[in-house]
Amino acid sequence: MSDAARFAGRVAIVTGGASGLGLATARRLHGEGARVAILDLPAARPSDAAARIARTALGLEADVTDAHQVGVAVERATSMLGPVDALVTSAGVSRVGNVLDTTPDEFARVLAVNLTGTFVVVQAVAQRMVARRRGRIVLLGSISGTRIWNDRAAYAASKGGVVALAKSCAVDLAPHGIAVNSVSPGPIATPQTAALHGPTIRGAVEAAVPMARYGTPDEVAAAVVWLLSDDARFVTGHDLVVDGGLTAAAIRYDRGRADGERGSS
């Protein structure tokens, strides 16, 4: 089967799908034959984003922290597109702030969206997948959950939790024929990172990443969609890192300059 038809006849929901990694994933799923529903906040205009993908794509408004709203949205997607075969949770927020200046309310808000909201959506969709004894779910984590940047206390905690949640879901849902994995991107060129990363941070990132650049949303989407595909049918409980080698790297140096320094000693 060609990639263009890999998801033919299947239904996918993508949360946070109106922009960034979620939108790239929704586009790729549609391009490979899936019927796609985008779930996002009203302010993100998910219907407009869906219309940019295809006339058949569905935009749904919901706050992932509200279980009732999520349940209504999932039911609408099911009634309009069919039973859900695949779920991608990409809804998330970030906050720059270290342990000393992040307030409990700010910390709780990030966890409410990134971690609790992910749980709420997974539960709502998985409860429907169980009856069909099949389904594939991918949660968007981050390398920030294990490789910590300064001033990311709440975000790091939330994303570390997402990766752990994916593993827990994989164990609980495997007997029902449902596979759950996570994808942990490294630095990716999105509107969010463009707003947060000034020249100093960009320079530090490009120096630290062995591939010497930011990744693209499409590169993350490719990893997500692979995990949703039949090619990954025996993969569950895995965290797939997409970071240009950042988490693999330790100390690196310019060998030419180092050789010159040795020669002059």
Question: Tell me: the pLDDT tens digits for 180-232?
Answer: 999 999 999 988 888 888 899 899 999 999 999 999 999 999 999 999 999 99
DSSP 54-120: -TT-EEEE--TT-HHHHHHHHHHHHHHH-S--EEEE-------B-TTT--HHHHHHHHIIIIIHHHH
pLDDT at residue 263 in the model: 53
pTM, full prediction: 0.93
Place of tokens 């979620």: 22
**155 flagged as catalytic:** yes
Residues found in the chain: 265
- C-alpha to C-alpha distance for 51 and 35, rounded to whole angstroms: 13
Confidence of residue 256 (pLDDT cuts 50, 70, 90): low
pLDDT at residue 239 in the model: 98
List the end-to-end C-alpha distance of the chain, in Å, as a whole number: 61
Question: Tell me: the pLDDT tens digits for 16-72?
Answer: 999 999 999 999 999 999 999 999 999 999 999 999 999 999 999 999 999 999 999
- C-alpha to C-alpha distance for 141 and 184, rounded to whole angstroms: 5
- C-alpha to C-alpha distance for 109 and 105, rounded to whole angstroms: 6
pLDDT at residue 150 in the model: 85
More confident residue, 43 or 259: 43
In the CATH hierarchy, which top-level class contains the domain 3-263? alpha beta
For range 158-168, the mean pLDDT: 98
Q: Provide the edge-to-edge strand list for the sheet that holds 35-40.
A: 58-61, 35-40, 11-15, 86-89, 135-140, 178-185, 239-242
Confidence of residue 157 (pLDDT cuts 50, 70, 90): very high
- Checking if the pLDDT of 2 tops 60, the result is no
Q: CB 119: neighbour CB atoms within 10 A?
A: 18
**Angle at the Cα of 244 from the Cα atoms of 36 and 190, rounded to 5 degrees:** 50
Q: CB 189: neighbour CB atoms within 10 A?
A: 16
Q: CB 21: neighbour CB atoms within 10 A?
A: 28
Catalytic residue among 155, 186, 224, 242: 155
- The letter for the amino acid at 79 is S
- Checking if the pLDDT of 265 tops 90, the result is no
- Checking if the pLDDT of 119 tops 50, the result is yes
Tell me if residue 171 falls in helix, strand or coil. Answer: helix
Outline where the chain has alpha helix (H).
20-31, 46-53, 67-81, 104-111, 117-132, 153-173, 191-196, 199-208, 217-228, 255-263
Closest by CA position to 94, among listed 212, 191, 204: 191
- C-alpha to C-alpha distance for 81 and 76, rounded to whole angstroms: 8
Question: Tell me: the pLDDT tens digits for 63-118?
Answer: 999 999 999 999 999 999 999 999 999 999 988 889 999 999 999 999 999 999 99
